[in-house]
């Protein structure tokens, strides 16, 4: 009985605040903590807010490109690591898990310092090599590219772990049979390997999209003048929490949960025998 009560208290502590945000997103009043009946007007206000929509567009664009790059490079890394054994493989395994466990603020600060240092060397070199007849040389700076690069480095580790778990349980006899039938390595990959690991790749893509879309800490350091949806929400709540912010949080929660559920379904498919 005591353990059940303890579990109930923990779940209430975790999910009750989220439920309150969802409930008050339908508040007809103007104050986030004063409920005056149900209404969906704040959702309409969010969708008609140009600043919120610009931030949403930026977040979706960054998250999609990040997920695409992380899926491609993460899958390539996972396939490459399968060729290593012993201490060399253990070293890379440790590096991958460390990248996942490092706090976001550390990744954000480290990425910021690395990019600022790199820009300090590259911008003068670019200005010196740039032809005068082309006008002023472009300057490298923080922005959407740096944000995508930082998110890709972070989420790629997730893809590597997920795809390697699928590779570990994959039927290797099909690959050996493909080689015996004189298939090229690339042909074996497209016709045998990829169909078997595709659920894991897709799950990694969805998780990468979710992590990138929801990220605030890393984006805060490397986004430059770009405004993602989490940064917009942070800037807005400094002036006070309104039902509009609750509506944004509810919509983000719905999208994130949907993607996570789809990713979980795809991950479960990896335990099914290949057709």
Q: Tell me, yes or no, whether 195 lies in a domain.
A: yes
The pTM of the full predicted model, rounded to 2 decimals, is: 0.80
Cβ-based neighbour number of residue 184 at 10 Å: 10
pLDDT grade for 275, boundaries at 50, 70 and 90: very low
Q: Which domain holds residue 126?
A: 52-271
Contact residues for 161 (Cβ-Cβ < 8 A; gap 6+): 96, 97, 100
Number of domains into which the chain is organized: 1
Q: What is the pLDDT of residues 49-74, one digit of tens each?
A: 888 889 889 999 999 999 999 999 99
pLDDT grade for 199, boundaries at 50, 70 and 90: confident
**Residue 178 belongs to a domain with what CATH number?**
1.10.3720.10
Cβ density class 97-129: b for 16+ within 10 Å, e for less: eebeeeebeebbeebbeebeeebeeeeeeeeee
Does residue 76 register a pLDDT over 50?
yes
Q: Tell me, yes or no, whether 132 lies in a domain.
A: yes
Q: Tell me, yes or no, whether 3 lies in a domain.
A: no
Q: Tell me, yes or no, whether 17 lies in a domain.
A: no
Q: What is the dihedral of CA 270, 102, 145, 143, to 10 degrees?
A: 140
Q: Tell me, yes or no, whether 189 lies in a domain.
A: yes
Q: Tell me, yes or no, whether 19 lies in a domain.
A: no
Does residue 94 register a pLDDT over 80?
yes
Q: Tell me, yes or no, whether 44 lies in a domain.
A: no
Q: Tell me, yes or no, whether 15 lies in a domain.
A: no
- Mean pLDDT of the residues in the chain: 81
């Amino acid at each position: 009985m005591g353990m059940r009560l303890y579990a109930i208290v923990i779940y209430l502590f975790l999910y009750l605040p989220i439920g309150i945000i969802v409930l008050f997103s339908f508040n007809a009043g103007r104050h986030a903590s004063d409920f005056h009946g149900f209404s969906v007007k704040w959702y309409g206000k969010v969708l008609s807010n140009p600043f919120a929509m610009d931030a949403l567009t930026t977040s979706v664009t960054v998250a999609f490109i990040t997920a695409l790059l992380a899926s491609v490079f993460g899958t390539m890394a996972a396939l490459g690591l399968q060729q290593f054994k012993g201490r060399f493989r253990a070293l890379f395994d440790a590096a991958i898990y460390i990248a996942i466990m490092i706090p976001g603020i550390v990744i954000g600060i480290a990425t910021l310092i690395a990019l600022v240092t790199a820009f300090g060397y590259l911008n003068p070199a670019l200005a010196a090599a740039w032809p005068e007849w082309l006008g002023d040389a472009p300057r490298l700076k923080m922005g959407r590219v740096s944000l995508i690069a930082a998110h890709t480095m972070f989420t790629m580790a997730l893809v590597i772990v997920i795809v390697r778990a699928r590779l570990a349980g994959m039927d290797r006899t099909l690959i050996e049979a493909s080689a015996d039938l004189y298939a090229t390595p690339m042909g074996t990959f497209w016709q045998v390997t990829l169909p078997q690991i595709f659920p894991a790749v897709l799950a990694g893509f969805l998780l990468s999209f979710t992590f990138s879309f929801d990220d605030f800490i890393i984006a805060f350091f490397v986004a430059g003048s770009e405004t993602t949806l989490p940064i917009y929400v942070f800037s807005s709540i400094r002036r006070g929490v309104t039902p509009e912010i609750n509506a944004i949080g509810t919509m983000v929660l719905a999208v994130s949960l949907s993607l996570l559920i789809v990713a979980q379904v795809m991950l479960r498919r990896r335990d099914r025998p290949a057709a």
